[in-house]
Structure 1
Amino acid sequence: MDNSHLPGGSNFRDVTHIFTEAAAEMSPMDVILRDGFTLQDAMSAFEIGEPRLDSGMVGERPPFDFWAPLLPEEICWIIDRSFTLEMLWHAGNTLAHTVFTCLYALVAPDLHPDMMPCDIPNDPSRPANLIPVVLRASICGMLKCCDLSWRELSKGHVHDTEDWQSDKGDTSLLEGMSVQNVIAMIDAATTWLVRSGKVSAPWTAALLARLNLRKTLLQLMDTNIFKAPSEFLDLINIVRSHLKIVRTSPSPEPGSDATARLAFDPYIARKLNSSVPIRVIEVPPVSEAWQSIDALLDGWEEQRLLSLTANVSTWELAGNLRTWLTSPPLRTPYVRSSAQSVFYDGLLVLNKFNLTWLMDRFFFETLGVSYQSAFHFVERNSRSQRPRPWADIQRGHFKLMTEYIRALWYNPCRRRRFFMKALVDFHVYHTRLKDITSGLPEDLPSDNVMRHLPSCALLWRLSVTREVVLSGFQLELYTSEEKPFAYWYASQVMDAHLTCLDNVLLAVEPDCLAARELRFQHNLLTALQAMTIPLFILSIPLMSFAWRQMHANFLRRYKWAFGGGYELTSEPVIAAPNFDTFTEACGQMLEEKTFSPSESFNFAHSILTGLIESRVVGGYAGLWTNERIQFLQNIADACERLKPVPSSMSELTLFDVGLFKWDPQIDPWFPVLDAEGAERRRSKIVRRPGEP
Structure 2
Amino acid sequence: MDILSLADLPGGNNFHDVTSIFTDAAAQMEPGGLMLREGFTLQDAMSAFEIGEPRLDSGMVGAEGERPPFDPWTPLLPQEICWIIDRCFSYEILWHAGNTLAHTVFTCLYALVVSEIPHDVLPYGLNNDALRPLLLIPIVLRASICGLLKCCDLSWRELSKGHVHDTEDWQSDKGDTSLLEGMSVQNVISGLDSATSWLLKSKKVPEPWTTALVARLNLRKALLQTMDANIFKSTSDFLDLINIARNHLKTVKSYPARDLGPTSPAHLAFDPYIARKLNSTVPIRVIDVPPVTETWDAIDTLLDGWEEQRLLSQTANISTWELAGNLRVWLPNPPLRMPYIRSSTQTVFYDGLLVLNRYNPTWVMDRFFFETLGVSYQAVVQFVDRHTQSQRPHPWADLQRGHFKLTTEYIRALWYNPPRRRRFFMKMLVDLHIYYTRLTAISMTMPELQSTHIMKHIPSCALVWRLSVIREVVLSGFQLELYTSEEKPFAYYYVSQVIEAHLACLDAMLLAVQPDSLAEREMRFQHSFLTVLQAMTIPMFALSMRLMSFAWRQMHANFVRRYKWAWGRGYDLSSTPVVASPDFDSFMDVCARMLDDKAFSPSSSFKLAHSVLAGLIESRSTGGYAGLWTDERMQLLRNLLDVCERLQNVPSSMAEMPHFDAGLLKWDPQIHPWFPILESEGAERRRNKHLRQLGGGS
Structure 1: gaps of 5 or more residues: 1-16, 25-40, 685-692
Amino acid at match of 1:92: G
**Contact 1:87–1:289 (CA<8 Å) still a contact in 2?**
yes
Structure 1 residues 496-549: Cα deviation after superposition (integer angstroms, max 9, x where no partner): 000000000000001100000000000000010000001101111211111111
Which of 638, 657, 663 in structure 1 is aligned with 2:668? 663
d(CA) in 2 for partners of 1:249 and 1:614?
45
**Contact 1:51–1:278 (CA<8 Å) still a contact in 2?**
no
Shift of 1:228: 2.0
Indicate the residue corresponding to 2:179 in structure 1.
173
After TM superposition, the structure 1 stretch with the greater mean CA deviation from structure 2, 128-137 or 195-204, is: 195-204
Indicate the residue corresponding to 1:85 in structure 2.
91
5 Å-filtered alignment, 1:130-145, equals: 130-145=136-151
Indicate the residue corresponding to 2:72 in structure 1.
66
Shift of 1:114: 6.2
Indicate the residue corresponding to 1:192 in structure 2.
198
d(CA) in 2 for partners of 1:194 and 1:115?
19
Shift of 1:677: 5.4
Helix, strand or coil at the partner of 2:487: helix
Is 1:541 aligned to 2:546, yes or no? yes
d(CA) in 1 for partners of 2:142 and 2:48?
42
Helix, strand or coil at the partner of 2:305: helix
Is 1:417 aligned to 2:423, yes or no? yes
Is 1:565 aligned to 2:570, yes or no? yes
Indicate the residue corresponding to 1:220 in structure 2.
226
Which of 650, 657, 673 in structure 2 is aligned with 1:652? 657
**Contact 1:389–1:436 (CA<8 Å) still a contact in 2?**
no
**Percent of aligned positions that are identical:** 70
Which of 500, 509, 519 in structure 2 is aligned with 1:495? 500
Amino acid at match of 1:226: F
Indicate the residue corresponding to 1:308 in structure 2.
314
Is 1:597 aligned to 2:587, yes or no? no
d(CA) in 2 for partners of 1:180 and 1:223?
12
**Contact 1:103–1:263 (CA<8 Å) still a contact in 2?**
yes
Shift of 1:115: 5.5
Shift of 1:384: 1.9
**Contact 2:59–2:276 (CA<8 Å) still a contact in 1?**
no
Amino acid at match of 2:47: A
Amino acid at match of 1:512: S
Structure 2: gaps of 5 or more residues: 1-6, 15-42, 690-698
d(CA) in 2 for partners of 1:402 and 1:334?
19
d(CA) in 2 for partners of 1:116 and 1:44?
46
**Contact 1:487–1:536 (CA<8 Å) still a contact in 2?**
yes
Structure 1 residues 157-192: Cα deviation after superposition (integer angstroms, max 9, x where no partner): 000000000000000000000000000111111111
5 Å-filtered alignment, 1:671-686, equals: 671-676=676-681, 680=685
5 Å-filtered alignment, 1:198-597, equals: 198-442=204-448, 444-597=449-602
Structure 1 residues 335-377: Cα deviation after superposition (integer angstroms, max 9, x where no partner): 0000000000000000000000000000000000011000000
Helix, strand or coil at the partner of 1:480: coil
**Contact 2:614–2:641 (CA<8 Å) still a contact in 1?**
yes
Structure 1 residues 293 and 42: alpha-carbon distance in aligned structure 2, compared to 1, 3 A threshold: same
What is the root-mean-square deviation of aligned Cα atoms in Å? 2.1
Shift of 1:196: 1.0
Helix, strand or coil at the partner of 1:481: coil
Helix, strand or coil at the partner of 1:21: coil
**Contact 1:336–1:409 (CA<8 Å) still a contact in 2?**
yes
After TM superposition, the structure 1 stretch with the greater mean CA deviation from structure 2, 140-149 or 113-122, is: 113-122
Is 1:76 aligned to 2:82, yes or no? yes
**Contact 2:65–2:273 (CA<8 Å) still a contact in 1?**
no
Indicate the residue corresponding to 2:37 in structure 1.
none
Indicate the residue corresponding to 1:20 in structure 2.
10
5 Å-filtered alignment, 1:633-652, equals: 633-652=638-657
d(CA) in 1 for partners of 2:681 and 2:558?
33
**Contact 1:659–1:678 (CA<8 Å) still a contact in 2?**
no
Aligned length: 651
Structure 1 residues 181-221: Cα deviation after superposition (integer angstroms, max 9, x where no partner): 00011111111111111111311111111110101110000
5 Å-filtered alignment, 1:10-159, equals: 20-21=10-11, 44-46=46-48, 50-52=56-58, 56-113=62-119, 116-159=122-165
Structure 1 residues 114-152: Cα deviation after superposition (integer angstroms, max 9, x where no partner): 653211112111111000000000000000000000000
d(CA) in 2 for partners of 1:676 and 1:46?
55
Helix, strand or coil at the partner of 1:539: helix
Structure 1 residues 378-400: Cα deviation after superposition (integer angstroms, max 9, x where no partner): 00011122332212211110000
Shift of 1:253: 1.3
Structure 1 residues 638-684: Cα deviation after superposition (integer angstroms, max 9, x where no partner): 01101100001110111011111111011100011112457649x99
Helix, strand or coil at the partner of 2:48: helix
Shift of 1:270: 0.6
d(CA) in 2 for partners of 1:351 and 1:586?
52
**Contact 1:596–1:647 (CA<8 Å) still a contact in 2?**
yes
Amino acid at match of 2:638: Q
Indicate the residue corresponding to 2:694 in structure 1.
none
d(CA) in 2 for partners of 1:523 and 1:247?
45
**Contact 1:108–1:136 (CA<8 Å) still a contact in 2?**
yes
Structure 1 residues 55 and 468: alpha-carbon distance in aligned structure 2, compared to 1, 3 A threshold: farther
